[in-house]
Structure 1
Amino acid sequence: MMTAADTSRHGGAGRHWRAWQDSWDRQQEYYLPDREERFRVMIDLVEACVGTEPLVLDLACGTGSLTGRVLRRLPGARCVGVDVDPALLAIAHGHFAGEDRAAFVTADLRDPGWTRALPHGRYDAVLTATSLHWLNPEPLAALYGQLAGLVGDGGVLLNADHMPDPTTPRLNEAERALRHRRRTARPEGVLDWTRWWDAARADPTLADAVARRDAIHGTHADGDPRPPHWHAETLRAAGFAESRTVWRSVTDAVVLALK
């Protein structure tokens, strides 16, 4: 892990923030081995539905992992990332400094007025990954209603998240146990969730942001993950014309909604 003390001898701030971005991606892939496959499906369907030059809202964007992949795959795209986490946004701002196709704003999705922070009123696509499961069903349904108002006609929303099917509890538990067994063999140099945040707290460039992040996330709800059909039905009720699962594993899924 590169810290502030390493910045001068490793080529400056750009490499420092790139190191944090790469470390975040490796940590996430440790928990989600099929993460890149989800991203590929999502971006494929953005291109299929709205073309190669979309205006994209990266919802609960974190460090901008998904934004970066959209911009690499679709050079004509523009992305606006929104998150409430000051530490992850610090990495996003640092990593994408000088990239005029990417912008990042701070907003709390629990705040009914969060959309006022956005620089645009309509988007061709809204993407979110592994983020909304901490919202309980009622506030998530309300958020879907807000997003329906942000997506232009013909636009698309894609949510990739933990969406277990409660009708298969034994299968869900067998898959969970397998994942946990495989995590005991963590690759060298890859930090788990706890160690990653400990490293961020130890970096002077992130310590203050992590302290603010800890205060914010101490109030977050635990959430109540819902199955894919709930998301599809709720998105249609929110005002989308079509919605269904477009990718799934045993306990995770990508649900698409078309305006």
Structure 2
Amino acid sequence: MTAKHVSNWQSWQSSWDRQQEWYMPDREERFRVMVDTVEALAGRTPRVLDLACGTGSISDRLLRRLPDADVTCVDIDPLLLTIARGHFAGDGRVSFVEADLTDAAWTARLPHTSYDAVVTATALHWLDTEPLDRLYATLAGLLREGGVFLNADHMKDESAPRINAALQALHTDRQTHQRGQGSLDWAGWWGEAARDPHLAEAAAERFALLGDPRKPRTDPPRRDRPTATRWHIETLLRQGFSEARQVWCSTSDALVAALR
């Protein structure tokens, strides 16, 4: 692989981060708290499962802080996995698994039967209540006793609607300004990725498998997706975790930690 090609993967990893930050300007802060929690509860040499890893944003930050960690990255998206594999090419600390988390047998593809930590961000909100409930039970079985699960995702606190509305309005104004300066949204990023010849094959596979993010959705939104932080905490406790609590939040998102 040429140096130019390596640089291209790193560029796409950074581009994904910038696109996500357009939606979540405090994204780096949530990652910091997430890695803090992994270090506090799993130590400096943890075996980590990066669930729905995308381009590997969490793993990248985790390995900067904890260079002796061992990470398994799991995702179903062939394009994002292509970028992640390119970004971590030659790094023996990282392994990759392509799997559907709604498949009951997905854990059979993992290189290990037990992990010290499981981390995920802005991913599990795609799952409806029933498969997410089952996934939490599966994760309780994958973590060693004393291991930690961390989920940073869209979780709402509806107790202060005026505060929420005011902060959301400010965020929307900032997004509008940033778009005027060239920031890419979700559809725009996928359009750029599909035009890259190194990603064209993976993009076609992704669009056939999971849909084309460049096109507006025409199907009605699915309603059976949990949005409250309390639901996640209570479900994790019911599925075998000994403790669970929110360790970080923004207006629309939260980071929940659960101890096995």
TM-score, normalized by the shorter chain, greater than 0.5: yes
- Residue 209 of structure 2 corresponds to 216
1:26-37 correspondence to structure 2 within 5 Å: 26-37=18-29
- Residue 109 of structure 2 corresponds to 117
Quick one: distance in 2 between partners of 1:244 and 1:215? 38
Q: Is the 8 A contact 2:168 2:251 kept in 1?
A: no
> What TM-score, normalized by structure 2, do the two folds share?
0.91
Quick one: distance in 2 between partners of 1:224 and 1:166? 16
Deviation of 1:215 after TM superposition, in Å, equals: 2.1
Deviation of 1:112 after TM superposition, in Å, equals: 1.3
- Residue 146 of structure 1 corresponds to 138
Deviation of 1:170 after TM superposition, in Å, equals: 4.2
Deviation of 1:176 after TM superposition, in Å, equals: 2.7
- Residue 234 of structure 1 corresponds to 235
Q: Is the 8 A contact 2:59 2:71 kept in 1?
A: yes
1:202 to 195, 202, 214: 195
2:120 to 128, 152, 170: 128
- Residue 251 of structure 2 corresponds to 250
Quick one: distance in 1 between partners of 2:108 and 2:165? 41
- Residue 32 of structure 2 corresponds to 40
Using a 3 Å threshold, how does the CA distance of structure 1 residues 48 and 217 change in structure 2: closer, same or farther?
same
1:24 aligns with 2:6: no
Q: How many residues align?
A: 251
Q: Is the 8 A contact 1:137 1:226 kept in 2?
A: no
- Residue 191 of structure 1 corresponds to 184
- Residue 75 of structure 2 corresponds to 83
> Runs ≥4 in structure 1, deviation > 6 angstroms?
none
Quick one: distance in 1 between partners of 2:72 and 2:20? 21
Q: Is the deviation greater in 122-131 or in 24-33?
A: 24-33
1:171-182 correspondence to structure 2 within 5 Å: 171-182=163-174
Deviation of 1:169 after TM superposition, in Å, equals: 4.1
Deviation of 1:13 after TM superposition, in Å, equals: 1.4
Three-state SS of the structure 1 residue aligned to 2:188 is helix
Quick one: distance in 1 between partners of 2:109 and 2:98? 7
Indicate the percent of aligned positions where both proteins have the same amino acid: 56
Amino acid at match of 1:56: V
Quick one: distance in 1 between partners of 2:170 and 2:207? 30
1:12 to 4, 8, 11: 4
- Residue 46 of structure 2 corresponds to 54
Deviation of 1:228 after TM superposition, in Å, equals: 1.1
1:63 aligns with 2:55: yes
Three-state SS of the structure 2 residue aligned to 1:12 is helix
Q: Where does structure 1 lack aligned partners over 5 or more consecutive residues?
A: 1-6
Q: Is the 8 A contact 2:149 2:258 kept in 1?
A: yes
